[in-house]
């Protein structure tokens, strides 16, 4: 058996830059957020080429296939040599939609609501209150 082609799941996800630290991967494993070939993975679970890893990160369920095992952490440009991203494009589109909906009206951190904002909020609250009285 070629021992260079085996790596722990926590180290692999750190090496291919899905998580910033191995500790973050370990915490995700302990919360059962990471599966390998459909089975919940512990941080010490070994991954091999052709394994399918599924995990949830940043409100997206990522699906990747292990193509090769890196010797150590790789640069961002070399990540595609070691994994194949099979996440559906709709997931990324959904994430973009979430980001846009949060910034739609007013950027966070711009201070307290303006007079117009307050009136809009009051009107919205009054509409809901009027609907409840009619029912």
Look up the CATH number of the domain holding residue 62: 3.10.290.10
Boundaries of domain holding 21: 1-87
Residue that has been written with the tokens 């919360």 in this structure: 31
Please give the radius of gyration of the chain, using alpha carbons only, rounded to the nearest integer: 22
pLDDT value of residue 63 = 93
d(CA 13, CA 24): 10
Query: How many domains are there within the chain?
Result: 2
Count the Cβ atoms, other than its own, within 10 Å of residue 21. Answer: 10
Select from 70, 87, 104 the last residue of a domain. 87
pLDDT value of residue 26 = 92
Same structural domain, 39 and 97: no
pLDDT value of residue 103 = 64
pLDDT in tens, the chain (135 residues): 455 578 899 999 999 999 999 999 999 999 989 999 999 999 999 999 989 999 988 888 899 999 999 988 999 899 999 999 998 888 888 888 887 776 666 566 677 878 888 888 888 877 776 666 666
Are 16 and 55 within 8 A, CB to CB? no
Same structural domain, 2 and 40: yes
Same structural domain, 28 and 38: yes
Q: How far is CA 101 from CA 21, 46, 57, 97, in A?
A: 30, 39, 19, 6
Same structural domain, 42 and 65: yes
């Amino acid at each position: 058996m070629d021992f260079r082609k085996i790596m722990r799941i926590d180290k692999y996800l750190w090496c291919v830059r899905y998580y910033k630290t191995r500790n973050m991967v370990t915490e995700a494993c302990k919360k059962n957020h990471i599966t390998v070939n459909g089975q919940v993975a512990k941080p010490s679970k070994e991954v091999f080429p052709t394994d399918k890893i599924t995990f949830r990160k940043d409100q997206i369920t990522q699906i990747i296939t292990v193509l090769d095992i890196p010797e150590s952490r790789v640069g961002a440009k070399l990540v595609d040599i070691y994994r194949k991203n099979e996440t559906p494009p709709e997931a990324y589109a959904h994430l973009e939609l979430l980001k846009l909906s949060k910034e739609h009206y007013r950027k966070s951190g711009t201070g307290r609501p303006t007079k117009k904002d307050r009136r809009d909020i009051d009107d919205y609250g009054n509409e809901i209150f009027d609907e409840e009285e009619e029912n």
